[in-house]
Amino acid sequence: MPILRSGFIALSHNRPLRRFFEHSTLGTRLNKRFIAGMKIGDALRVAEAVNSQGIAATLDSLGESVTSANEAHRAAEVYHQLLDFIAQRHLNANISVKLTQMGLEQSPELAESIAGDLVQHARSTGSFVRIDMEDSSLTQVTLDIVRRVHARAGMRGALGIVIQAYLYRSQSDVEQLLADGIRIRLCKGAYDESAEVAFPRKAEVDTNFLALSKLLLDSPVYHALATHDERIIAAVKAYAAAHNIDRSHFEFQMLYGVRRDLQRKLIAEGYNVRVYVPFGTEWYPYFMRRLAERPANVIFLARNFFRS
């Protein structure tokens, strides 16, 4: 499995393959299970559909590593439009943003300024911005920007961050973020990291995920636990029940197109569930990371591809 994971991660950086798949009919057939579509309207329709099932949504305009300030501002404008549409349509939805898409690699100051504007906009419309986490080389600068923006007047509660359980440093990061009152989305991690910075074995990642989940559940802040692993979900539910933690105090998050049966089951049991809804033409890196982190997706994809 580690070899398969590394292979898909490597493919996610292959530019010729990316160009081919993002501009081909074959690519469209492959991505439709995990990608809402190419346009804002596609994402909004999916958000409305999942809302009708009692499930919240996080909308993500796919793209990363822009090469200029103009590109960063154009990417941000899509999110500003999303925030307006979410408010106009009264959707139970928020947005998820990568700082490299906001110009982080050109200028951390640029990314911080753009992120701050988005959070201010979200605050004014009653929504929320989640800053996504990327590979470990960007962890510290992402944390620093989120903490500074969150500390601005009026921003508290309108901004959150993602923490990846496979990094050794994540417990100390969680403790600092909890001290600041920042909302956390905990996931396992989807990048190819070395054993110098990340737990190399799945069992270790799972153990750390559950330990960090308990820290989040014990805090007074509303957090999100992103996993499709039924064993971890069962352990979280048991811990919450044993410690009288109300089901409204946290949410489970899952990916669009993955374990819809489990999403519906959790809703029926009274838990909050949010689905991560990606859209846009730059879908290839995201798609390959989904295959890398869950090999069962490869089998599922192949089975449905040949049926269609």
**CA dist 168 → 81, 136, 205, 212, 269 (Å):** 37, 11, 9, 12, 33
In DSSP notation, 138-190 reads GHHHHHHHHHHHHTSTT-TTSEEEEEETTBTTHHHHHHHHHHHT-EEEEE---
Does the annotation flag 165 for ligand binding?
A: no
Does the annotation flag 202 for ligand binding?
A: yes
Does the annotation flag 116 for ligand binding?
A: no
**CA dist 275 → 120, 141, 220, 227 (Å):** 23, 27, 23, 11
The C-alpha atoms of residue 163 and residue 144 are separated, in whole angstroms, by: 13
Does the annotation flag 39 for ligand binding?
A: no
Does the annotation flag 33 for ligand binding?
A: no
- Contacts of 72-78 with CB under 8 Å at 24 or more apart are 72/101, 72/102, 72/103, 72/106, 72/110, 72/111, 72/114, 73/114, 75/101, 75/102, 76/102, 76/114, 76/117, 76/118, 78/40, 78/280
Does the annotation flag 98 for ligand binding?
A: yes
Question: How many C-beta atoms lie closer than 10 Å to residue 270's C-beta?
Answer: 9
DSSP 94: E
Catalytic residues: 132, 185
Does the annotation flag 90 for ligand binding?
A: no
Does the annotation flag 265 for ligand binding?
A: no
Does the annotation flag 227 for ligand binding?
A: yes
Binding residues: 98, 133, 164, 188-190, 202, 227-228, 289-290
Binding site for FAD: residue ranges? 133, 164, 188-190, 202, 227-228
Binding residues for substrate: 98, 289-290
